[in-house]
């Protein structure tokens, strides 16, 4: 899910401290899922809201 | 998690967005309203997480970006990640619909409190109170979902949900009459009520200019 952000930041040559993403969309049952990647470390966390 | 960036990492977050409510297409935003010519958030990238990434470097308009990416996402399994190019703080301040993040947080808190205190019968009224009372919102209908129809066409989910008036509280009282129908294109488009005598009334309409 964060691949698009990685590609964008690589293209404009910016290294953000953190990237956040929220899933939205109609009726796919995936709404509310959030992703975070802390750039510069190996940690990758996911959490799902109710 | 957006607010978590502020509390955990001391990164400012913006209490607002460019829509103010859910709309079905990505170009239906305030920056396009105020600056309708040309593409705004460039470059734009989209990835499906399965090894396919595409990058949009130039475009004639935000609407063209929406049309092209929507067609591509339909081919990529209708589930993609999208990242838009940077936007200035000055223009964000000029065009943002303010307080939508905190409003969503207040609505979520109200619903959570209703669940904790077993007051789900009144959750609609509680949400109206959080939105500012009867001057800002009202309860359109209460009932039971009896039908949901969905059809995926070119990356958009079209369909209609039907809600039949019923006794929600279990006190032998039906507050509303008939059947509420909500057609949607990803997001709710309008709400009509089919009354018991067969007549139909429009209760809410999202116009093209909304």
ipTM of the assembly?
Answer: 0.72
Q: What is the pTM of this model?
A: 0.79
Asked if B82 lies within 8 A of A11 by C-beta distance, the reply is no
Token pair for residue B192?
């009509």
Q: Residue B167's pLDDT is what? A: 86
Overall average pLDDT of the B187-192 stretch: 90
Any idea what DSSP says for residue B123? H
Q: Which of residues 48-87 of B touch A (CB under 8 A)?
A: 49, 53, 55, 78-86
Residue with tokens 């105020």: B34
Note whether B81 contacts A36, CB cutoff 8 Å.
no
Nearest CB to B55; choose among A7, A26, A34? A7
pLDDT at A2: 82
pLDDT tens digits along A17-29: 777 777 776 554 4
Task: Kindly report whether the peptide bond that precedes residue B77 is cis, defined as omega within 30 degrees of 0.
Answer: no
pLDDT of residue A50: 36
What is the share, in percent, of chain A residues with pLDDT greater than 70?
46
B149 reaches A (C-beta below 8 A): no
């Amino acid at each position: 899910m964060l691949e698009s952000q990685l590609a964008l930041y690589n293209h404009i040559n910016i290294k953000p401290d953190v990237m956040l993403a929220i899933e939205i969309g109609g009726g796919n049952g995936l709404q509310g899922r959030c992703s975070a990647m802390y750039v510069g470390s190996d940690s990758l966390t996911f959490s799902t809201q109710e | 998690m957006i607010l978590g960036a502020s509390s955990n990492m001391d990164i400012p977050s913006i209490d607002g967005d460019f829509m103010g409510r859910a709309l079905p297409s990505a170009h239906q935003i305030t920056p396009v309203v105020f600056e309708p010519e040309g593409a705004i958030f460039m470059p734009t990238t989209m990835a499906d997480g399965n090894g396919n990434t595409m990058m949009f470097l130039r475009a004639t308009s935000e609407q063209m970006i929406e049309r092209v990416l929507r067609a591509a996402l339909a081919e990529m399994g209708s589930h993609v990640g999208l990242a838009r190019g940077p936007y200035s703080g000055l223009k964000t301040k000029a065009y943002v619909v303010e307080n939508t993040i905190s409003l969503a947080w207040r609505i979520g808190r109200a619903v959570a409190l209703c669940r904790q205190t077993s007051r789900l019968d009144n959750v609609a009224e509680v949400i109206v109170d959080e939105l500012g009372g009867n001057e800002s919102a009202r309860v359109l209908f209460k009932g039971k979902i009896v039908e949901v129809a969905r059809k995926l066409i070119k990356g958009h989910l079209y369909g209609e949900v039907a809600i039949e008036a019923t006794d929600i509280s279990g006190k032998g009282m039906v507050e509303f009459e008939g059947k509420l129908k909500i057609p949607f294109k990803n997001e709710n488009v309008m709400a009509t009520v089919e009354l018991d005598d067969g007549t139909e009334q429009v209760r809410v309409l999202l116009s093209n200019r909304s």
